[in-house]
Homo-oligomer: A and B are copies of this chain.
Amino acid sequence: MQNRTLAAQLAAEPTGSIVVLDGWIHRRRMLAHVSFLVLRDRSGMARVVVKEPPARAVLDGLGEESVVRVTGTVHANPAAPAGVEVIDPVIVPLGEPAATPPLELWRPNVSGGLASRLDHAPVALRHPRAQHSWRIAATSMRGFRETLTEAGFVEITTPKIVGTATESGSNVFEMDYFGQPGFLAQSPQFFKQMMVGAHERVFEVGPVFRAEPHDTVRHLAQYTSLDVEFGFIQDHRDVIAQLRDVLAGMIRSIATYAAASVEALEVELPSVPGVIPRVHFADALRIVGAAPDEPDLEPAHERALSQWALAEFGSEFLAVEGYPMRKRPFYTHPQPDDPRWSNSFDLLFRGLELTTGGQRLHRRSDYRTALAAAGEREEDFAAYLSAFEHGMPPHGGFAIGLERWVARLLRVTNVREVTLFPRDLHRLTP
């Protein structure tokens, strides 16, 4: 049997040659004496001109989204997409005729609101724009891994069911684990730190779970966390430098491997400065005119700081370092010269927090103090603490939420727009 030709390869075939195309009927237009079939496959679209009555009859019986094999002749036509179309086709269904889709996939923007698109995700995700959007996500993950692997990091996989809540007791999903209480991991934080003891430099791409009780455009009950942790750092600025390289690698990967998607969605890829500009939290409060005892940045502050960084440094990225210790988790390393502040940071990108990271404590005795101050019991962290008992280097890391990253890149407000099958307060299917 003849090999399949992809739609995107059609223009390279000589006029007059016979090709076999497999794909979905993206759109039919049935005119009086001719029908046009737009065939969609993973590479794009091909136009098929159907004049012969038998082929017209077959097409007439197959609704949009039916899967077909088209055998036809390549024909140059400057009016067709990429200057080429297929004529004299034989159309053979590869399954049953498809029922009319709940959304009109052939429109430039798929019909229906977000709720409808999420309800009909198995169909809505076929839309070319949805495909492009996901390719940006997939190539982001690729760039993340390739950059880190190149720098000597080792990929790890860690448990998603844990015996104690990772980050805090709230917003955690509880479950029955063979008769004892188990929790879904809110982050791989403890595991990635422990693995620094083994491989020094580790990363993980995996799901994390938050029982987020609020319905917001930024939060999901499950999201994909791009986690990094590494040892033998001076302080959190080494972490920011590594984050800088990772972001640059992700953007390079998108530009290289998803160029067609960047073009189709008109994505403005940011350029990452060689050194990401930094501002101390205390200075950030001054810049935005907030009270000096504010414990956190409000959304309006984050937007103002991003604008400031763009004006001041021409950078769409800004690292806010030194967040107050009292707002950071117990494993956060304090700023050595002033323990009110921390060696941790948030990375702002286009007005929103994209990443949190920093230096962690690495001395067993510091954990003793920090857990006591947080009112936590050491026995709940026994395995974790054993890593520090037996020698850990100064280390730090960060985590990027994949969906939030893609949403910012695509300038989309709701992370659900860029998640394949989002999970939230109201949504457990599809």
Which residues of chain A have a CB within 8 Å of any CB of chain B? 4, 22, 24-25, 41-42, 65-67, 94-96, 98-99, 101-102, 120-123, 125-126, 130-131, 134-135, 137-138, 141-142, 145, 149, 152, 154-163, 173-178, 180, 182, 184, 191, 194-195, 197-201, 205-207, 209, 211, 213, 221-222, 224, 232, 362-365, 382-384, 386-387, 389-394, 402, 420-421, 423, 425-426, 428-430
Contact = CB atoms under 8 A, between A and B. Distances in A.
B390 A42 contact: no
Nearest to A403: B157
Contacts of A222: 159-161
Given A364-B96, A386-B120, A134 B156 contact: yes
A206 to B, nearest CB: 7
State the majority secondary structure of interface residues on A.
mixed
A142 B149 contact: yes
Contacts of A195: 125, 420
A141 B142 CA distance: 12
A95 B125 contact: no
Nearest to A364: B96
Given A101-B390, A134-B156, A390-B101, A96 B22 contact: no
Interface centre among A67, A122, A137, A191 (most CB of B within 10 A): A122
A169 to B, nearest CB: 15
A218 to B, nearest CB: 18
A428 B391 contact: no
* Copies of this protein in the complex: 2
B154 A138 contact: yes
A152 B42 contact: yes
6 contacts: A22-B232, A65-B391, A95-B391, A120-B386, A122-B197, A123-B386
Contacts of A201: 42
A43 to B, nearest CB: 8
Contact of A428 (B158, B182, B211): B182
A66 B161 contact: no
A131 B199 contact: yes
A371 B150 CA distance: 47
Nearest to A154: B138
Q: Which of A157, A175, A394 has the most CB of B within 10 A?
A: A157
Nearest to A230: B42
Contact of A200 (B41, B161, B180, B392): B41
A249 to B, nearest CB: 15
Contacts of A178: 211, 213, 221, 425-426
B122 A42 contact: no
A152 to B, nearest CB: 7
